[in-house]
Amino acid sequence: MSTPEQALQGLKVVECATVIAAPLCGRLLADFGAEVIHVEHPEKGDDLRHFGFTKDGVNPWWKYYARNKKMVTLNISKPQGREILFRLLEDADIFVENFRPGRLEDWGIHYEDLAAINPRLIMIRVSGFGQSGPYSSQPGFGTLIEAMSGFAHLTGEADGPPTLPQFALGDSFAGCYATMAAMFAIYHRDVIGTGKGQMIDVSLWESLFSMLGPNVLVNEMTGQPPMRIGNRAPTSAPRNIYQTSDQRWVALAGSTPATALRLFHAIGMPELVEDPRFATNPARLRNVDALDAILGEWIGGHTLEEVTTLLRETSVPVGPVLDVADIMANPHAQARDMVVEGPDGDGPPLKMEGVFPKMTGTPGAVNHAGRYMGADNAEIFAQRLGLSDEEITALKNDGVI
């Protein structure tokens, strides 16, 4: 059976980046067929290899975020390493990096020089705070960004502390923005036909800030920033998490007039439709405590299955709070290949999150999980660049590869 054509096959990417934000950009491109060469320091490697825990030689973060990439070791801070990097970039489409702004320039790596060698090159620079501005030289880890973006301020109970996410939220948005910007630049270069690359400046701070909604305008119009309100929403009601009689949790959204009408009928309280406290969305927002008390009592008297079955039958948006084990066992998730089994050259196949988004004509694929350091040194340095065995040995001895 032939392998389906992939959307980005033939696209060449060189990635000098660590951990999650910028490498996620490379992984998304690799999922859809781009050749992504991940460059690691020959001694330290990528810090992501040591995130969390490792069991039987498998680090889940590394195996997932580094999947589908080719692995080479190269110290680009050394002149010989810089020369090899420049050779790799001569015919590359995209160069992804996430060093602290100014670091590459300290090593003699400037976009202007790269563009002179390869005018088509698109350089994606991912950093905490961007390539300019007073904070540009500061380290920008996702935790800081999630705090500074306004996300933590908005997350949590009204009388509780600001809350940080357990996953790489800031990094993930930056990685998605970087991927989107790369495609914008490819379109400008190849479809519009300018033939020219460009430099793209992606900051984690702006990536997450831009996704939190029109908070600037809200602040301007009300005179105060949005505040924490738990699982409620400032825009509509009801919207909350409620506990069922079997100690499960369910999310409910009934904000539109038609949805609220169906909800009140479904729970056997059609009189709420005429209740001035709940007749409109603004009224429901003003009386949300009373509304949540009514819904919480009704839901608390039924099991999760009873609640979800009844409300889904009446087209009321409802969903159980699931953990990852629930999702893996869920028939819809299985039908959508939300979890797949990917080959791992270092051992047996590994289960991981599937490829998304779904493309009917040029689907993405998991070809292999993240590989060991220098797994593709021979292919890239010997076969691609034509370095001899003697040259490769000398470079190893000098700590360049």
CA separation for the pair 44, 347 (Å, rounded): 23
- CA nearest to 27, candidates 58, 56, 66, 1: 66
CA separation for the pair 128, 352 (Å, rounded): 28
* Contacts of 316 by beta carbon, 8 Å cutoff, 6+ apart: 252, 254, 259, 262, 263, 266
Number of Cβ within 10 Å of residue 36's Cβ equals 27
**Bond before 357 cis per omega within 30 degrees:** yes
* Contacts of 279 by beta carbon, 8 Å cutoff, 6+ apart: 273
CA separation for the pair 173, 210 (Å, rounded): 10
CA separation for the pair 266, 299 (Å, rounded): 11
Q: How many CA atoms lie within 13 A of 326 on its CB side?
A: 7
Which pair of structure tokens corresponds to residue 242? Answer: 């409620």
SS3 of residue 116 by DSSP? helix
- CA nearest to 14, candidates 61, 84, 62, 79: 84
Q: Are 76 and 39 in contact (CB under 8 A)?
A: yes
Cα separation of the two ends of the chain: 38
CA separation for the pair 60, 215 (Å, rounded): 35
Block residue for tokens 């701070």: 205
Catalytic residues: 171
Q: Which helix (H) or strand (E) covers residue 250, if one does?
A: strand 249-253
Strand 347-353 to 70-73 pairing: unpaired
Buried residues in 1-11 as b, exposed as e (16+ CB within 10 A): eeeeebbbeeb
Which pair of structure tokens corresponds to residue 232? Answer: 């409620």
**Bond before 60 cis per omega within 30 degrees:** no
